[in-house]
């Protein structure tokens, strides 16, 4: 069973009583498919921001972990119309230590770390989101071909939503968007205009059209 790290308090702007989480039904709740984090009601906040991380750690309906806390604060500050965050993941397996996730994928394959409901829940949240932030980070010991195979599958689901996709700061030369734990509050959200840098087998041409809608804060 992968190890889970410590939990911490949530950002002060989060409405803890209305947090929703979707776990797998096994006794250990081995998979977390989504975590919806609403902010305290403000009239001008009316948008859903999806954040796609690598895999869940210890955050649940009551407490955050280090990554989720940073994501909460960043989205509240940089997306002034954000009403709620939908936290999604490439892999739904809960594990704080990346080596546990890598070992699980090596033993059970991508499907074994993705879970039965992950793709359907990701697709549904993409359909409802106003902005989609990519934040899965580097391989962290996962086989590069397997990691990029999974990224490729998620990019296919993102394809109809090219005008809503962004990252925090620019995508590094590695091609992996900066992980949420590495977000700096001083960095701006940036629209993704060259989608082929995100995975070795991206289904898209080099340049994808973006709408004129503003992405996050100017």
Comparing 186 with 2, the larger pLDDT belongs to: 186
Q: Which long-range contacts (CB under 8 A, 24 or more apart) does 20-23 make?
A: 20/61, 21/60, 21/61, 22/117, 22/121
> DSSP characters for 145-198?
HHHHHHHHHHHHHHGGGGGGEEEESPPPTTSPPPPGGG--TTSPEEE---GGGG
For residues 208 and 148, the model is more confident at 148
pLDDT interval class at 159 (50, 70, 90): confident
217 has pLDDT over 50: no
pLDDT mean over 90-118: 93
Residues 132 and 166 sit within 8 Å (Cβ to Cβ):
yes
| Residues 6+ positions from 119 with CB-CB distance below 8 Å | 153, 157
Residue 211 predicted with pLDDT over 50: no
The predicted structure's pLDDT at residue 201:
52
pTM tops 0.85 = yes
Task: Show me where the domains of the chain are located.
Answer: 16-198
Q: Which of 167, 90, 81, 179 is nearest to 130 (CA)?
A: 81
Q: Region 9-30: what's the mean pLDDT?
A: 94
Percent of the chain whose pLDDT exceeds 90: 75
Mean pLDDT of 162-184: 93
Tell whether the model's pLDDT for residue 43 goes beyond 90: no
Query: What local confidence, expressed as pLDDT, does residue 198 receive?
Result: 81
């Amino acid at each position: 069973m992968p190890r889970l790290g410590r939990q911490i308090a949530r950002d002060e702007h989060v409405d803890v009583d209305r947090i929703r989480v979707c776990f797998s039904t096994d006794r250990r709740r081995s998979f977390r498919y989504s975590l919806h984090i609403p902010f305290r009601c403000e009239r001008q906040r009316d948008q859903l921001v999806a954040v796609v991380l690598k895999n869940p750690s210890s955050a649940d309906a009551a407490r955050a972990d280090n990554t989720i806390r940073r994501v909460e604060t960043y989205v509240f500050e940089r997306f002034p119309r954000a009403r709620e965050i939908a936290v999604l993941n490439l892999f739904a397996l809960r594990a704080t230590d990346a080596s546990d996730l890598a070992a699980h994928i090596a033993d059970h394959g991508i499907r074994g770390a993705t879970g039965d409901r992950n793709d359907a829940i990701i697709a549904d949240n993409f359909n409802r989101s106003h902005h989609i932030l990519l934040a899965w980070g580097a391989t962290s010991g996962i086989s590069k071909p397997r990691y990029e195979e999974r990224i490729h599958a998620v990019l296919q689901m993102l394809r109809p939503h090219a005008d809503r996709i962004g990252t925090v700061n620019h995508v590094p030369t590695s091609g992996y968007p900066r992980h949420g734990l590495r977000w700096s509050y001083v960095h701006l959200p940036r629209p993704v205009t060259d989608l082929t840098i995100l995975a070795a087998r991206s289904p898209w041409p080099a340049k994808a059209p973006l709408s004129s809608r503003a992405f996050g804060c100017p």
